[in-house]
Structure 1
Amino acid sequence: MAPDAFLWAVGIEDTFITAPHPRTGRTLDEYELTGHYARWRDDIGLMARLGAPCARYGVPWHRVQPAPKVWSWGFVDAALDRMIALKIDPIVDLVHYGLPAWIEGAYLHPDYPRYVAEYATRLAERFHGRVKWYTPLNEPRITAWYCGRLGWWPPYRRSWSGFVALMLAICRGVVATVRALERVDPEIVPFHVDATDLFDTDDPALAPEARRRQEIVFLALDLISGRVDRRHPLWHWLLDNGADEDRLAEFLHAPLELPVIGVNLYPIFTSKRLLRDARGRLRIQMPHASGELVNKLGRLYFERYGAPLMISETADKGSAARRLDWLAQSVAAVKTLRADGVPLVGYTWWPMFALVTWAWRQGRRPLHDYLLQMGLWDLDADPQRDLARVETPLVAAYRSLVQGGADSVGPLTRPFFDPKRKRVG
């Protein structure tokens, strides 16, 4: 990527939790729930209408490989071919929370790194020279949280030791994936995407916990890039929660580069305030944030990693006016960061249209009751309208930003370029 370039992107929510909920029997395949499997051609046409040069796009591994020795590429071939034909560069999400059901124990299966590396290899070989950007796994921390700490998703662990076990297994898979991609094509750009949070507290007694939670936000990136050694703030915490020193040493011996870091941030989710309730139990509030959130996080990540950054997901929920306000605030913050020399090189409005909330899987109400309108397009909430895509004023606003290219966010002062790093475009 040239130092003065800027990538405007969109994406379609692609959470894939294929395990039926034990009480409701529901799964969580966002492509199925939003009708994307049936409408993929038209939905990709909407991307083209925006003029976006690239788009994050998830591959449903559970459909590509429904059994260990069975591969089915029809949907993926058609969708990615259409994006490429329309001059939209895919940023391929290889894993987005869920795995094929045949991988027993999910991420804790001892052969998971081998399975995911084989899958990545086959896809990269199939699109050799045509797809350059891959996300090995979207949001490692959130995956480990829901699979290992909350127990919502397989393998249903519910402890900090479960979280640590999942985090280490997930990161081993990320490393195996990147090495596999590099063997196929050294020009591939691994795009490491994680959800970010900003923790604070007004209670001095909770300050150490807020600092620990903030360090956990960075844990996946720290692990895969070889930063977790005996000096790391979480070293003893990891050991206390079941981590093995030899397993931690694996990451130190073969660290990955971070050519581009994707940060997922939302004004409704990302700010976290710790407090105690009347019974002394730890509680977390999520106050709605302003554009200053983007400023703080951009500086925090650049100071820590010194790598180019891209906003890989952001949006607000509610009325179109509220969403437009967040678009204006967040883009203004991007301009400020770039003017101050922080190499923020891209912005992704996510999702492109509404998603179905994760509560659907354990809920019992009709689908339309779980729509979360966060997109440039709404999904029609009338059950008789079959989730029609409804254009909002955000479409024209975003198209205008895309057409402006880098001019929409201003120049990058003191352009960041390290010739020792893998180039990012």
Structure 2
Amino acid sequence: MTSLPLRPQASRLTAPQAFWWSTGIEDTFITEPWPSTGRTLDEYELTGHYERWAEDLSLAAALGVKTIRYGIPWHRVEPARGQWDWDFPDKTLGRLLDLGIDPIVDLVHYGLPRWLHGAYLNPDYPERVAEYASGLAGRFQGRIFWYTPLNEPRITAWYCGRLGWWPPFRRGWSGFIAVMMAIARGIVRTVQALQAVDPEILAVHVDATDLYETPDPALAGEGERRQEIVFLSLDLVSGRVNREHPLWAWLLHHGAGESDLAWFQENAIDLPFIGLNLYPMFTKKRLQREARGRLRIRQPYAPGDLVAQLGRLYHARYKSPLFVSETASIGSVAKRQRWMDDSIAAVKILRTEGIPMVGYTWWPMFDMVAWAYRQGTRNPANYVAPMGLWDLDPVTLDRTPTPLVGSYQACVAGGISAVGLLKTG
């Protein structure tokens, strides 16, 4: 089986024959301009997807995939509070269904509508995002059963609350935790709203995965804490953060309230699927001290075994079905091909170990524009990141197929044989 069932059940997708191949189109939406450049970051606009959506969805169909992670621009669907324009999701999601491709709908990918003042820290955010999710799910009730409430909660909290680059522009660990708590509450309310529309809807929780290491014994404790932070959003929404949690005291020290943490235990949601976003050039983190004592985090390029390490780590902690929800390498076609081969081989190893790795997503389907564009001053063509199956012409925005297209088509056509049966019993 290479496609999702019409009415998906977790038990069916953890059976030995279960596996799906997927792809996706980069859909970062940051609607607030960078002060010194005036630039926003709308990947659909920068890559021409708003105009070429029909062509792009046909490219996905040509891969043979029966699943795609696909993002909806909330800021366009609801350009002003309570003013709804469902034209884009109606056309795009409807077309995917016509093509026989089941969308895993990405509801929020970092950015929010600008009218939501204070962004994630607006006290109405959880209810507003739940209202939006409910409206979209209602339009596709009985046809779409897969939704990601919010892509990469930890990265969102990092850029919005720790670095202060994205709204609401908070800084430090207290800002990180404030944004993370708000995001997590919004995820819970979104899942509740989706299941109120249709109890058969399953949430696909997708977050960035980091794997920390350090050669310095003095930094071992910091490395362990950073690793726990990687799991924080999943632990919060599933009600795992209690007094015995390794981050309990740290959370309280940086502004979390005991009553807020108790709310998550009282409103805990299931984790039917966990999506792992991992990249060989970003995911491995090495902690070390510089000569002057400053903590530095390096990102060495990781081997394909990274996938196996993370799969084992997440399975041991959550026991949920897992899938690679984003992966690619940046660079030459040959480099991308090596990563495809190595990462898929690692997925196969996990399945032989009995770890329910049930899917693989090459992301992005075609090249994206690097996030540095928003804060940069050069022409957008200078920020194109070569990561796709198709290359993106930096001037015309034409999608040019690389040999990776044929490689991925072969994997998809091979179905389960490319990754083997899941060991059970």
| TM-score category (smaller protein) | over 0.9
Per-residue CA deviations over 1:383-402 (Å, capped at 9, x if unaligned) read 2xx11101001000000101
Aligned pairs for 1:196-211 within 5 A: 196-211=209-224
1:253 corresponds to 2:285: no
1:27 corresponds to 2:37: no
Number of aligned pairs?
412
1:213 corresponds to 2:226: yes
Aligned amino acid, residue 292 of structure 1: D
Correspondence for 1:387: 397
Aligned pairs for 1:1-40 within 5 A: 1-2=12-13, 3=15, 4-40=17-53
Query: Could you tell me which of 303, 312, 315 is aligned with 2:325?
Result: 312
Shift of 1:366: 0.2
Correspondence for 2:419: 409
Per-residue CA deviations over 1:84-128 (Å, capped at 9, x if unaligned) read 000010000000000000000000000000000000000000000
Per-residue CA deviations over 1:369-392 (Å, capped at 9, x if unaligned) read 0000100001013x2xx1110100
Query: Could you tell me which of 197, 204, 223 is aligned with 2:236?
Result: 223
Q: RMSD of the alignment, in Å?
A: 0.6
Per-residue CA deviations over 1:144-181 (Å, capped at 9, x if unaligned) read 00000001100001110000000000000000000000
Correspondence for 2:93: 80
Aligned amino acid, residue 400 of structure 2: V
Correspondence for 2:206: 193
Indicate the percent of aligned positions where both proteins have the same amino acid. 64
Correspondence for 1:342: 355
Gaps of 5+ in 1: 416-425
Per-residue CA deviations over 1:296-349 (Å, capped at 9, x if unaligned) read 000000000001001000000100000000000000000000000000000000
Matches of 1:250 and 1:88, distance apart in 2: 37
Matches of 1:340 and 1:248, distance apart in 2: 35
TM-score when normalising by structure 1:
0.96
Matches of 2:196 and 2:372, distance apart in 1: 39
TM-score when normalising by structure 2:
0.96
1:142 corresponds to 2:142: no
Gaps of 5+ in 2: 1-11
**Segments ≥4 residues shifted beyond 6 Å:** none
Matches of 2:350 and 2:103, distance apart in 1: 26
1:277 corresponds to 2:287: no
Correspondence for 1:420: none
Shift of 1:404: 1.1
Shift of 1:43: 0.2
Matches of 2:326 and 2:317, distance apart in 1: 20
Query: Could you tell me which of 192, 196, 205 is aligned with 1:183?
Result: 196
Aligned pairs for 1:229-268 within 5 A: 229-268=242-281
Aligned amino acid, residue 231 of structure 1: E
Aligned amino acid, residue 346 of structure 2: A
Correspondence for 2:169: 156
Matches of 1:209 and 1:34, distance apart in 2: 39
Aligned amino acid, residue 246 of structure 2: P
1:363 corresponds to 2:368: no
Matches of 1:132 and 1:375, distance apart in 2: 27
Matches of 1:5 and 1:394, distance apart in 2: 24
